[in-house]
Structure 1
Amino acid sequence: MRHNDRADESDKRTLRREVLRVRSGLTADDVRVSAAALARWALALPELAHARTVAAYVSVGSEPGTLALLDALRARGVRVLLPALLPDNDLDWAAYAGEGSLAPVRHGGRMTLLEPTGERLGPDAVTEADAVLLPGLAVDARGMRLGRGGGSYDRVLARLDRAGARPALVVLLYGSEVVGHIPEEPHDRPVHAVVTPSGVRRFGRPGDGTADETP
């Protein structure tokens, strides 16, 4: 590993710790209010308004809340796919059938996730999505996303590339998690938009430097 690579990874670890520290101070009411605002902004996105299939995830703890958004998409008739973590950190997928179709699954000593209980559709099911909602800890001014470091969504994005699939990539965050710069690796792909409780920031095509914000 080169010196710059080590420095970049150290910067990522520091940013992850800081984001998680701030999130840990949020109350359940903070998360609930933010989730409602996130859902309102996300549902207005053209990428979701016209989507037939959306790959998403179930938030846990103090993550930006997704359940209100998942239920609203399902009420629209959208097919919502949710992930199930596999032993190798890859993701399988199943259709969301309401909050009652979720079950807590503990993955070793790491974390407990809410996962769908329905029929597993295989890791390639994500390639059918018109939009993919990505979890994250931060995003920068270019749309580069900082994940938790497990690599699950790196595999998802690589799978989409191999399949020639081009869904809209959207990350859901709190406002303070939109930062100036995140070190990138060759496999990293920018997202197309970030939704926060206060609005939407959309990123231009890679390399053209354009972005816009709502409001």
Structure 2
Amino acid sequence: MPHFGQGTESAKRTLRREFLAVRSRLTPDDMRESAQALARRALELPELAGAGTVAAYVSVGSEPGTLALLDALRARGVRVLLPALLPDNDLDWGPYTGRDALVRVRHGGRMALFEPPAPHLGPDAVTEADAVLLPGLAVDARGMRLGRGGGSYDRVLARLEGAGVHPALVVLLYDEEVVGRVPEEPHDRPVDAVVTPSGVRRLPES
């Protein structure tokens, strides 16, 4: 792991490259099996079992797969909200009504995202969630999450804090992405739990 004295943002960039390189070597079979296991584990979470509304996301590329989990939540009668990326990197939200309704959207030169169809509900809709599922690249024992660096979920977490609401914050990762420590900045906020294909871990760990 890089030494944080090189600068926190530089350390984060180095770590992102390392974790993305590992993910790039996953096979389709690896990802399919991981997605099924991740869904089973996540559905064991009491915070999801009791949730009326869950803010989630559609995985892309080599991210831990979320569609099986989204379908299972919807089958339970949970209202699932999905993000739509705005030009300023903030997130709007819309309901998940099934895979066939998702819209493939390319934002500039980035990887295409799968988003809910318009009309959307506005960025503040996330404050209605009982649990928020967060993407990431790593998390440490304190619950500090390493994101991809776009800042979209930093805005989401700040919006939740500003609204005075405290949904369960859960990051979905592969097993090897739970690490000893990730670099943090003052605006970073810890998550409450991490779900990987092998199980659930509560954070922070003592």
- TM-score with structure 1 setting the length: 0.92
Is the Cα–Cα contact under 8 Å of residues 101 and 116 in structure 1 kept in the other structure? yes
Residue 128 of structure 1 and its aligned partner are, at CA, apart by: 0.2
Residue 5 of structure 1 and its aligned partner are, at CA, apart by: 7.3
1:201 paired with 2:195, answer no
1:116 paired with 2:116, answer yes
Summarize the alignment of residues 181-200 of structure 1 with structure 2, pairs less than 5 Å apart: 181-200=181-200
Which amino acid letter does the alignment assign opposite residue 200 of structure 1?
V
SS in 2 for 1:111: coil
- TM-score with structure 2 setting the length: 0.96
**Identity %, equivalent residues:** 78
Residue 120 of structure 1 and its aligned partner are, at CA, apart by: 0.3
Summarize the alignment of residues 1-215 of structure 1 with structure 2, pairs less than 5 Å apart: 7-204=7-204, 210=206
Which amino acid letter does the alignment assign opposite residue 80 of structure 1?
V
SS in 2 for 1:132: strand
Structure 1 unaligned regions, length at least 5: 211-215
Q: Match for residue 213 of structure 1? A: none
SS in 1 for 2:80: strand
SS in 1 for 2:73: helix
Q: What CA RMSD, in Å, does the superposition of the two structures yield over aligned residues?
A: 1.1
SS in 1 for 2:8: helix
Is the Cα–Cα contact under 8 Å of residues 101 and 118 in structure 1 kept in the other structure? no
1:13 and 1:145 map into 2 onto residues whose CA distance is 13
**Aligned residue-pair number:** 203
2:46 and 2:15 map into 1 onto residues whose CA distance is 31
* CA deviation vs aligned residue, 1:72-121 (integer Å, no higher than 9, x gap): 00000000000000000000000000001101100001221011114200
Residue 6 of structure 1 and its aligned partner are, at CA, apart by: 5.2
Which amino acid letter does the alignment assign opposite residue 60 of structure 2?
V
1:48 and 1:191 map into 2 onto residues whose CA distance is 15
